[in-house]
Amino acid sequence: MTGTAPLSGLRILDLTELLPGPYATQQLAEMGAEVIKVERPAGDAARAMFPGLFAAVNRGKKSIVLNLKAEADRAAFLGLAKRADVVIEGYRPGVTARLGIDYETLCAINPGLVYCSVSGYGQTGPARDWPGHDLNYAAMAGAAAISGAPDGPPDYTTGVPIGDLSAAMYAIITILAALRARDATGRGQYLDVAITDALASWVAPRYGVWDAGRRAGREVTKADILRRAAYGIFETADGKYITIGAIETHFFRRLIRATGMTGFDDPALDDFAARTARTDDIRAALTPLIAARPYALWAQVFEAEDVPFAPVNALDDLARDPHLKSRGVVRAVGEAQVIAFPVPMAGMGEPAGHVPAVGEHQAEILGQAQETE
């Protein structure tokens, strides 16, 4: 699309490592922000631990190296912060104060600064100093307790680090909201983004089901929340997998017609709760039917009958999937394949491709800072 990128002219100093902060700032970079990745001398730990992850969430950024424990480098950072729009950091609580780069210090030299801290449990509370990772945050947020099999123990099998990514999205949302508020007030603000809080917010729809049952005097179990009739993943005759999501009555009836499934013609099953009570029976009847025919045939039948379905794509299927390909979800950038920013916007072109080397932009960024002194 033509035009100026939505966040063109915005300068962000990124002090984060690994996933939540870097994912947030990479998305902001895709929207046109200048993101300066401020790395410690050893570089972001993800460079060595997870090089593919590092490349995915740091494309399009500039890298400088500063030892913030050294007075000269700290002074250089303060000079950059004085002219920045956003600082985002992912240290454990208290570290920025010890380094002398906390919000209070930076706000004094740049009142319009939006300062975002991303941490596991937040800047306050009994667990604020606990170390952790996605699984730990998901457990505290209630997500692990309602993951896995409806009748099974707590699990956490999403395959995607949703805690880290939920925090990244709330960092993006609140940074942009704070910048909008700054337009009106001229002042920035401090944002305390906790991964646990962010994921708890995503648990809200399930919590609502639980709370409604509580207020009605019923005990709501994990199975009550997760169990859905005619909803799941099924293996086809050619060893592929297909998802079916015939939750609503009209879709359930179309599924029966499309598969020839018998024994479920009772009009009482037009009621969602009645169907849910027979979830196991429905799955038992559906499984051998789906297993008797190849994926391509079921895809043709379900599309014709308007039954909710989709393939279970492996990662190496994404670039070949006809729908995802038509949407430009996976793009070739040089020899790499990347997941593009998911929403087309004016001023945004091809995905950023360049992954910065450690300190690659040192002379450019620090030179600019000296020129403006």
Which residues have a catalytic role annotated?
Answer: 164
Angle at alpha carbon of residue 91, lines to 196 and 96, rounded to 5°: 125
Question: Of the candidates 85, 93, 43, 92, which has an alpha carbon nearest to the alpha carbon of residue 65?
Answer: 43
Provide CB contacts within 8 A for 124, sequence distance 6+. 192
Q: Are 275 and 250 in contact (CB under 8 A)?
A: no
Integer Cα distance of 329 and 340 in angstroms? 5
Tokens, residue 333: 């950038």
Integer Cα distance of 75 and 119 in angstroms? 25
- Residue with tokens 């859905």, as numbered in its chain: 228
Integer Cα distance of 222 and 220 in angstroms? 7
Angle at alpha carbon of residue 330, lines to 324 and 332, rounded to 5°: 140
Question: Of the candidates 99, 28, 89, 98, which has an alpha carbon nearest to the alpha carbon of residue 58?
Answer: 28
DSSP string, 318-371: TTT-HHHHHHT-EEEETTEEEEPPSS--TT--SPP---PPTTTTHHHHHHHHHH
CA 258 to mean position of chain CA atoms:
35
Provide CB contacts within 8 A for 357, sequence distance 6+. 63
DSSP reduced 3-state for 15: strand
Provide CB contacts within 8 A for 45, sequence distance 6+. 17, 18
